Each structure stands twice: as structure tokens, then as C-alpha cells.
């Protein structure tokens, strides 16, 4: 497990680096899914303060035993972040946020839980600060679900992908800005051999996605309808099967 610890520390270091904290003063950070406090140790070493939230009492017990410097809170972040507005100078999370995509209970709706998490996180963060969430998405749909809810909650930013060409070292960091939109940091290892850069994922305003070449909205187009139906299926809603007639225009009269 020492390798796990090493990877964890490395990712914590990278997450804190992506926060772009001021050099001259200690900051208060929120660590979401803090576990046994490994990322917290790095935050403390850097001279900052932290509060960690985790859903696992066992993990928090380990953190207490290890006498970490941060304060610990046993909580499910899918219920929201229970701190006063503007309290934190930043938030990091190492391999935790993807768990909000799982519906462990019948009553759990992943989109709702993600939105609750992001909207309350947005409020708890100081204006101009950042949240950097390292996550292991299962697939691109999950990535889209997570980023869509973050945008809905008011964040700007995007996905920073380190070492995108390496199966082993590839890491996803959702880098979110509160208020003033910064420039998205570059992913590590994104320079190609010929110095070309790999395009980073940026958030586009979702509404502009379905436009045809003339700039007309293609809302109600077949692609738009299929995507909407797919979204609703993911939310567990009843949706009619797709057929060759989906999205076809009807003639004005039969």
C-alpha cells in the first residue's frame, strides 16, 4: 500500500498546485473525501489549514489515530457542504467525487446529489477561489454528468488531464473557478513530440452545441432528441425506445 500512499500524495500535491493559492498567507481548505488524511498531511506541510469531510467512520478513525492537523467531519457530501458562505479559500478532493454517480439507495438520484454537492460547495468557497477535484470517471457519460452539474451550480473551468497519452499515469482533475474565471491550467505531459499541444477540455456553453453551420439552432434535431432521451434514461426516467422515426418531421397532412 506504500505505492497507493505515494500516488495519493502525488495527486494531493498536484491538486494543491492547481489551486494556485497565494504564496504569502496560510489558507483554509476543504478536503472532500479526506479519508485517513493523507492529502491533509500535504496541506499541513505547505502551511495551510484544512477541514476534511468523509462518509467513512473507519477512515476518519484512522485519521484521528494518525493525529492529523485538520478538523474532521463525518458526512455524506451528497447531502451538501454544511459550512457558512465564503468560508474556504479552496477545495481539493482526491478520488472521491465519482462515488456521487452511484445510486446506493433507492432514493438516491446522482444528478440531484451532484447538484446539491456542487451548489453548496460553490457557496462555501470564497469568490475568486478554486476547487480541484481529482476523479476516476468510469466513462465519458459520468464525466459529462459531473461537469454538467458543476456548471449548473455556477462554476466555470474545465477538465485538466495530466499525461493523456499514458494509460497508467493519466489523471483527471476537474478544475473549477468561483466567480472570476481564470485560465485553465495546462495538463502535464500534454506536449506532443512535435511541440503541438493537445487540446484541453474546456466548457462550452452547452446551449451553443447544437447549432448548424448557419448558426440556426437545431434543437429538436434527431441528435438533440437522442441525446436528451439518453440523458433522461441515465436519470432513471421512462423513455420510449429510439426508432428510425425518432426526430423525423411529419408531413403537414397525411
- Cα-trace Rg, the chain: 20
Q: What is the pLDDT of residues 171-228, one digit of tens each?
A: 999 999 998 667 888 889 876 544 444 444 444 444 445 555 555 556 667 777 887 7
Helix, strand, coil distribution of the chain in percent, nearest 5: 35, 20, 45
User: How far is residue 29 from each of residues 15, 77, 210, 253, measured CA to CA in Å?
Assistant: 12, 15, 38, 63
Distance CA 64, CA 97 (A): 23
pTM over 0.85: no
- Segments of 35-124 assigned E as strands: 49-54, 71-74, 88-94
Residues 81-91 as b/e (b if ≥16 CB within 10 A, e otherwise) read: bebeeeebbbb
Distance CA 189, CA 209 (A): 28
**What residue ranges do the domains of the chain occupy?**
1-203, 217-253
pLDDT score for 198: 47
Indicate the CATH number for domain 1-203. 3.40.50.150
Q: What is the pLDDT of residues 12-64, one digit of tens each?
A: 999 999 999 988 899 999 999 999 999 999 999 999 999 999 999 999 999 99
Distance CA 73, CA 51 (A): 7
Mean pLDDT of 222-236: 79
The answer to whether residue 139 scores a pLDDT higher than 50 is yes
Taking the CA atoms of 236, 78, 46 and 123 in sequence, report the sign of the dihedral they define. Answer: positive
Distance CA 222, CA 210 (A): 11
Residue 249's contacts (CB-CB under 8 Å, 6 or more residues apart) are none
Amino acid at each position: 500500500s506504500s505505492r497507493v500512499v505515494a500516488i495519493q500524495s502525488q495527486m494531493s500535491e498536484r491538486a494543491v498546485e492547481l489551486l494556485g493559492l497565494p504564496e504569502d498567507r496560510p489558507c483554509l481548505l476543504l478536503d472532500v473525501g479526506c479519508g485517513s488524511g493523507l492529502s491533509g498531511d500535504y496541506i499541513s506541510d505547505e502551511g495551510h489549514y484544512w477541514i476534511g469531510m468523509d462518509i467513512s467512520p473507519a477512515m476518519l478513525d484512522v485519521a484521528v489515530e494518525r493525529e492529523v492537523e485538520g478538523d474532521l467531519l463525518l458526512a455524506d457530501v451528497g447531502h451538501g457542504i454544511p459550512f457558512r458562505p465564503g468560508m474556504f479559500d479552496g477545495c481539493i478532493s482526491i478520488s472521491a467525487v465519482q462515488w456521487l454517480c452511484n445510486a446506493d439507495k433507492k432514493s438516491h438520484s446522482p444528478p440531484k446529489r451532484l447538484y446539491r454537492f456542487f451548489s453548496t460547495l460553490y457557496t462555501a468557497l470564497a469568490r475568486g477561489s478554486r476547487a480541484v477535484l481529482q476523479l476516476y470517471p468510469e466513462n465519458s457519460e459520468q464525466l459529462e454528468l459531473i461537469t454538467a452539474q458543476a456548471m449548473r451550480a455556477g462554476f466555470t473551468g474545465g477538465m485538466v488531464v495530466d499525461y493523456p497519452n499514458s494509460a497508467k499515469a493519466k489523471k483527471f482533475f476537474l478544475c473549477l473557478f468561483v466567480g472570476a474565471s481564470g485560465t485553465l491550467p495546462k495538463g502535464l505531459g500534454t506536449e506532443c513530440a512535435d511541440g503541438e499541444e493537445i487540446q484541453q477540455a474546456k466548457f462550452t456553453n452547452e446551449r451553443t452545441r447544437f447549432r448548424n453551420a448557419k448558426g440556426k439552432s437545431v434543437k429538436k434535431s434527431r441528435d438533440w432528441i437522442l441525446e436528451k432521451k439518453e440523458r433522461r434514461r441515465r436519470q432513471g426516467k421512462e423513455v420510449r425506445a429510439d426508432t428510425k422515426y425518432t426526430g423525423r418531421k411529419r408531413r403537414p397532412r397525411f
